[in-house]
Every structure is written in structure tokens, then in C-alpha cells.
Amino acid sequence: MSDDQKDKVAVNEKQIGKYKVEVMRDKCISAGSCEAIAPGIFELDEEGIAVVISQNGNTDEEKLLGAQSCPTDAVIVTDTETGEQVWPKK
């Protein structure tokens, strides 16, 4: 992730929304489905691994759908109000 992207993430952390997403890099297989569904949230970096570029680049529904589309469940979705993990289901 470039310094510019890191700055954008830092600014956007203030406006996360209902869900917060995180990518477990060691589980990502570069399928790109998260980016296809929520391109304002995810992108593949220079290694082909998904990264979060913004927490508010798409709607909360698209954010969740992007996470659910991951074939390896590499994206964790947490409810920002309750702190509970929404996806993947425990």
C-alpha cells in the first residue's frame, strides 16, 4: 500500500460505518472478488493480495458482500457498534 493510500485509510477511519473490514493477508489467494464487488473498499496490492483502501468507499451492504465473496474467508467483518464478528461466522 502506498503512503497516499495509507493516508486515505487514516482519514477514512473516522467514518467507518456499521462494519469494519480487515484482510488476513496469509489467507488471501488473490481471487479479487472482494474488489470486484466493493472496489471502493478493497484493491489488490502489488503482490496481488487484497488490502483495505477505505472503510467507507462503498455501502455497508457492499462491504459485507465483498467479504462474503472471498473463497477463503480472508476478510473479517466486525460490527462497529457491538464489536461482534459478523463474517465469517464463528
Residues of the chain with pLDDT below 70 are: 1-15
CATH label, 3-87, candidates 3.40.190.10, 3.30.70.20, 3.90.550.10, 2.60.40.10? 3.30.70.20
Share of the chain above pLDDT 90, in %: 79
Q: What is the pTM assigned to this prediction?
A: 0.81
CB burial of 36-61 (b: ≥16 within 10 Å; e: otherwise) equals ebbbbbbbebeeebbbbbbbbbbebe
What pLDDT sits at residue 12? 46
What pLDDT sits at residue 75? 98
With beta carbons less than 8 A apart as the criterion, state whether 50 and 63 touch: no
Which stretch of DSSP H or E encloses residue 33? helix 33-37
With beta carbons less than 8 A apart as the criterion, state whether 6 and 25 touch: no
Tens digit of pLDDT for each residue in 44-59?
Answer: 999 999 999 999 999 9
What pLDDT sits at residue 76? 98
